[in-house]
Amino acid sequence: MPITITYPIPDEPYVNSWDAGKTLTTTYNGPTDVTLYANQDGSVFATSFDMDSDAAHAFNSDPVAGDGAPTLNIRLDATSGNKHAAACWILRHFHSQDSENAECMNMPHEEIEEDATLAADPSVTYKRVTNPNLHQVYELLVSKDIDSNGDKFDNIRFRQKTRSPESHNAFLARQRLHNVRHYHETYDLGPEGESDAAAYITTLNNYIAGEEGKWPWAYVTHPPRTEVPKVPLSVATAITTVKQNELLDNTGGELNQYPGNSPYELPTPANSPEVFKDFN
């Protein structure tokens, strides 16, 4: 019997914004009782569509194919509500050999794109999917959680698929900011270097703030790197002098491996927060 699934979708794909309260529906056609097999980190590696319990345990305990740890078995009942029905839908479509056979199931619906203008950069028009399929919005995760009584239980969770919201130029600006700020906070760059470094740090912070909302996936051609504020020559010269001096100690000219607070850590790309939605 076909089971209808209702799932929330964000205001904008890949973005943690749900103010509009949008939902979509899809249909699950398949067995109502489904077992998933996961390893200890919660990754699903097999389902009852393709394996029985003995085969799954043998596969996961194989030193090459599996992780050697006990297999998590979680039984799903698609008739119990949205949560289990949605899990069965994802498993049937994307964790099963049936997913290669269109005649075995109801395939995902055709997605529709619309032209959208990027609010943070009106010069950019991009394609936005208005009716994303369930698997385009969420990934299925399995975890061992603890309830209010302190008892462990197997949990099924749906995490929104997100992308880094940081523009390429914002990331480059943060790299320059980390570099200059490190030397500005750690060393005396001289009167001109100190003043110009402080001003440059303010300029970079303002630039990075102005890049917010310029989602990189909306661009076909990204803005040139030359738009990122360049390091003033006075600051670059002062930092170069410090780098040359910090390699030598003050006595015998021996090389220092890690003088002061160097080397500093480069920033990592900004990531969206993890967002889990309740399908009940």
Average pLDDT over residues 51-60: 90
Q: Does one domain contain both 129 and 21?
A: yes
Is pLDDT above 50 for 95? yes
pLDDT score recorded for residue 197: 98
Q: Tens of pLDDT along 160-181? A: 999 999 999 999 999 999 999 9
pLDDT score recorded for residue 248: 57
Is pLDDT above 60 for 101? no
Average pLDDT over residues 39-59: 89
pLDDT score recorded for residue 103: 46
279 falls within a domain: no
Residue 232, both tokens: 């003033």
Residue 65, both tokens: 């194919």
Q: Tens of pLDDT along 122-170? A: 999 999 999 999 999 999 998 878 888 888 888 899 999 999 999 999 9
Q: Structurally, how many domains does the chain consist of?
A: 2
pLDDT score recorded for residue 258: 43
Q: Does one domain contain both 145 and 195?
A: no
Q: What is 86-153 written as a DSSP string?
A: HHHHHHHHHSSGGGG-GGGS-PPPPP-EEEEE-TT-TT-EEEEESS--HHHHEEEEEEEEE-TTS-EE
Please identify, among 135, 162, 189, the residue that sits at the C-terminal boundary of a domain: 162
pLDDT score recorded for residue 260: 44
pTM beyond cutoff 0.85:
no
pLDDT score recorded for residue 189: 95
Q: Does one domain contain both 26 and 98?
A: yes
111 falls within a domain: yes
Q: Which domain holds residue 140?
A: 3-162
262 falls within a domain: no
pLDDT above 90 as % of the chain: 64
The Cα 79–Cα 233 span in angstroms is: 68
Is pLDDT above 80 for 249? no
